[in-house]
Chains A and B, each alone.
Chain A
Amino acid sequence: MNEFLVFEGVTKRYGDFYAVRDVTFEVRQGEIFALLGPSGCGKTTLLRMLAGFIEPDAGRILVDGKDVTGIPPDKRPVNTVFQSYALFPHLTIRDNIGFGLKMARRGKAEIAAEVDRMLDLVDLVEHADKKPDQISGGQKQRVAIARALVNKPRVLLLDEPLAALDLKLRQRLLVELDEIHDEVGITFLYVTHDQTEAMAISDRIGVMNRGRVAQIGAPAEIYESPVDSFVAAFIGDTNFLEGRVIERLGDEYSLVAIEAMGEIRVYNDREISPGDEIHLSLRPEKLSIQTSAPAATDEARNAIEGTVEDVIYLGALTRYWVRTGERRLAVERQHSRFLLDEKPPTWGDKVWVRWRADDGYLLRDFAPEHAEMLSLPAETE
């Protein structure tokens, strides 16, 4: 019942290269589902297969129970917001928005009324009679959304819709897009390479890598409990710690020897036993930094001594790179107080980095090349 849009074993290859490889997932009716991944991961190929511009080599795509594979794009119950907007330059904004209704041979009066409703929704009434090259990028984006939505598609496909806009405008349009979604209640399939965009707008995210879906879940799920090193490194930033389990400390925790760092406690996110090799993802904002030695630690906390090697002040927060043993840890410190009254740790300071044992997450899979995606590669020099 919830399986409104279904990709079933979808595969697309170009020669030996698999653009999309045996992808299966479902999108629920009315949700905003983001396909997130780096360029070349297959997300746009999936979107274009749903739109009808590319036919899969294998598998099916179902919209509301109906197989749409093989149906030409103009007969599919979906509409697309293109990355470059693709507004018709020779038509006014009004005629751009009305294009789909005209193709559907609706009456003139009906088209005019629907277009007016859309112009109102995206707040472009006063620009209705302008040509696309007379309005701004953000306005073009809203025209593109209105032009697609006016046809009342079963699914609205958005292909990197905000990629061409600057940061502030992107954030504002993101909020607008969310409001539009609340108003129309149409299922959105949102393709992006920008993780903040995906997290901000979507109900669920499908993270893609090399033609496959690596993980599907709510934004917080994906961020807090990434299944593998790719997801952990692609979404946000993290520290990867490799080590070997020394012993179990009761049901919840284990003692682990981390390479080039020392012994720490980790939470048993999955069944581990002494001797197992483990990979831990530790988000920088979960770590705290202090200049004084901590009091005796309980078993649920870790404290590691180190030296501040680099400091990057970012306004809302400061990022520290702390050397502990033969490796570095990225630590983020939020500034919830007026910073000039404080004496924050600085270059060369001796510090203690602390975190709760259950704030790390044990990865199911780890590939060393994903460490290269972090802002601070794990090993130095």
Chain B
Amino acid sequence: MKKGRANIAGNRLEWLLTLPSMGWLLFFFAVPTVLILVMSFKPANAYGGFGEGWTLKAWIDMGHPSYPLIVWRTIWLSLLTTIICIGFALPAGFLLGLIRSKWRNILLLLVIVPFWTNFLIRVFAWKVLLHPLGYLKRALMLVGLASDETLLLYNEWAVLLVMVYTYLPFAILPIYAASEKFDYSLLDAARDLGASASKAFWLVFVPGIQRGLMAAVAMVLIPALGSYIIPDMVGGPSGEMIGNMIARRVFNDRNWPHAAALAGLLMIVTLAPVLVAFFTEKQHAAGATREGGGEAE
């Protein structure tokens, strides 16, 4: 009896504790999202805002031939950013989890240090660095890797470079968090059973930090898909992404419903990987609930 009552009290407490964050999500995420989706079915108003009645015009207008190119660029730039970030973050997270000394803290600090500088200033610094008269280009010309016509700034590659730079810590940190809990003696066991060092890494370490890896992918891919400042500052016309398109519709054309429809499209593109992650995670969790019934040693 007592236990049952304690459980009910525990449940009520849990609800109370969850309420603030639920409220926050409701008012600052769910409601605005719905408002934006609703707005995308309204007619445009030339003076800003939106008009009366309902229409599908904003969604139909997205069939404009210039859009597929930008959507495709957004997707491949984000995917490539994610792949490169994970490519760096896996070995970095592996080493950060392996070393056990003050070095680990120093290296972790180095990963986090960029956050101490304003994001805009960091992107602007890249702009200076990649500028046609900047140090990087001059250095590359000196060793013969670039000519006078080479453009480092205002193209997709500049966007990719700065996105990888910006999102790398978001890939390293979750992978480190997982590898810190990873039992490295499993790699000894794999080697002992005949696995080469690289096989041990791919067949034992990577599955072992799977959750961290998924988190890293989500932490990079989702913000990358919604990038706006980076392509705006270093991308130029050939480096535009959906985010820039939305901004242009809002600020230049004052076509809010169209911007809202674009935002809806971006959300669909973003949600796809999240849903995939969510459902595979759910399966994983279903397998793991039996852990609790395991053995007391």
Name A residues whose Cβ lies closer than 8 Å to a Cβ of B: 51-53, 72-75, 78-80, 82, 84, 86-90, 99-100, 103-104, 131, 133-137, 139, 147-148, 151, 164-165
Contacts and interface: CB of A to CB of B under 8 A. Distances in A.
A74 B192 contact: yes
B195 interface: yes
Contacts, number: 79
B287 A74 contact: no
A100 B207 contact: no
Interface in B27-52: none
Nearest to A86: B189
Top 6 nearest A-B pairs by Cβ distance? Answer: A103-B194, A86-B189, A100-B193, A136-B295, A137-B297, A73-B191
B208 to A, nearest CB: 7
A18 to B, nearest CB: 23
6 contacts: A52-B192, A53-B188, A87-B189, A88-B189, A137-B295, A151-B194
Nearest to B194: A103
A189 to B, nearest CB: 13
A327 B20 CA distance: 72
B193 A103 contact: yes
Given A74-B195, A79-B193, A99-B190, A133 B185 contact: no
Contacts of A135: 294-295
Contact of B186 (A78, A86, A164): A86
B253 interface: no
B199 interface: yes
B281 interface: no
Interface of B: 183, 185-186, 188-196, 199, 204, 207-208, 210, 287, 290-291, 293-295, 297
Contacts of A136: 294-295, 297
B195 A134 contact: no
A147 B207 contact: no
B291 to A, nearest CB: 5
Contact of A86 (B185, B195, B287, B293): B185
Nearest to B288: A133
Contacts of A86: 183, 185-186, 188-189
Contacts of A84: 183, 185
A90 B210 contact: yes
Given A86-B183, A86-B188, A134 B196 contact: no
A54 to B, nearest CB: 11
A74 B291 contact: no
B290 A134 contact: yes
Contacts of B185: 82, 84, 86
B232 to A, nearest CB: 42
B207 A90 contact: yes
A89 B294 CA distance: 13
Residue from A84, A90, A135, A151 having most chain B Cβ neighbours under 10 A: A90
A82 B199 contact: no
B192 A51 contact: yes
B199 A103 contact: yes
A99 B193 contact: yes
Nearest to A73: B191
Given A82-B185, A104-B194, 14 more contacts: A74-B191, A74-B194, A79-B192, A80-B192, A82-B192, A86-B185, A86-B186, A89-B186, A90-B208, A131-B287, A133-B290, A134-B293, A135-B295, A136-B295
B295 A73 contact: no
Contacts of A104: 194
A242 to B, nearest CB: 44
Contacts of B196: 74
A164 B199 contact: no
A133 B294 contact: yes
A78 B291 CA distance: 32
B242 to A, nearest CB: 36
Contacts of A89: 186, 208
Contacts of A87: 189
A88 B186 contact: yes
Nearest to A98: B193
A139 B290 CA distance: 16
